[in-house]
Amino acid sequence: MKRLILYLLCLIICLLMPLACSFSPGLSDMETRLYSNPAGYHITVPAGWQLIEEDRQSAVFAAPDNGISLTIVSELGGEAYYGLPEIGDMLLAQLPGSSSPWRISRTITDTEDKLRLAVTGKDEYGAEIALDISILQPYPGMRYYLLFAAGSTATVEQALTGDIIKSFGMDEDLPYLYGLMGEWREAEQEAEQETEQETDR
C-alpha cells in the first residue's frame, strides 16, 4: 500500500484538471484502442486518449482536452488481510489534492474482488473535484487501482468510465504475477541500496 501511495502522490496532483468538457455516452459510440501492460492486464480506452506517462507499476491517460484523466496503478503483493473497503479508506486518507477531506458520495460496486467509489473533494479555490475510483482484486493481494479524475465543472462520466472499467481484463496468471512481484521487489531493494549509498557519501 505504501508503494501505491507514493505513486499516487506523484501522479494525482497534476491530474486534477479544472476544465469543463462533455463526453460521449460510452465506448460503443466512439473509436477505441486496446492497451496492454506488462503488469498482466489489458484495458480499452477511447482512441483519442493519450498515454502521457508509463512506468513499471503505473500508466496515466488523459483526454485530449485534459478534462478527465485515468491513472492505473498495479500493486502486486499488497496486504491480503485487508478487505477492499478497508483498502479504500486507507487510500482516501492518503490522497492529496483536496482542500477538504475526500468524501465518498456513492458506493457504486462493493464485492469481494471489486470496489468502485464515487469520491468528491475541493481544490484550493473551492471548486469541486470528482474522482471515480475502482479497486480490482483478481487474486488475493494482487490489486489494480483505476482512478478517473475530473475537476471544476467537469464530472466523471459514469457511462464511459463504467465501460472502460468493464473492459479491464487479465492477460497473465498467478504464477506470472508472483514472478513479476519478485522482480519488482528486487528492483526496489536495489534502488533503496543506491539511495543509501549516495546518502552515505
Give the residue numbers spanning the domain of 162. 2-200
pLDDT in tens, 81-130: 889 999 999 888 888 777 778 889 899 999 999 999 999 888 777 777 88
Which residues share a beta bridge with 132? 118, 148
Residue 97 — φ and ψ, nearest 5°? Answer: 100, 0
Q: CA 158 to CA 129: how far, in whole Å? A: 15
Could you tell me the pTM of the whole model? 0.84
pLDDT in tens, 154-194: 455 678 899 999 999 999 999 999 999 999 989 888 888 77
CA angle 47, 21, 71 (to 5 degrees): 55
In contact, 144 and 74? CB cutoff 8 Å: yes
Domain count, the chain: 1
Q: Shortest CA distance to 129 belongs to which of 108, 105, 160?
A: 105
CATH assignment of the domain containing 169: 3.40.1000.10
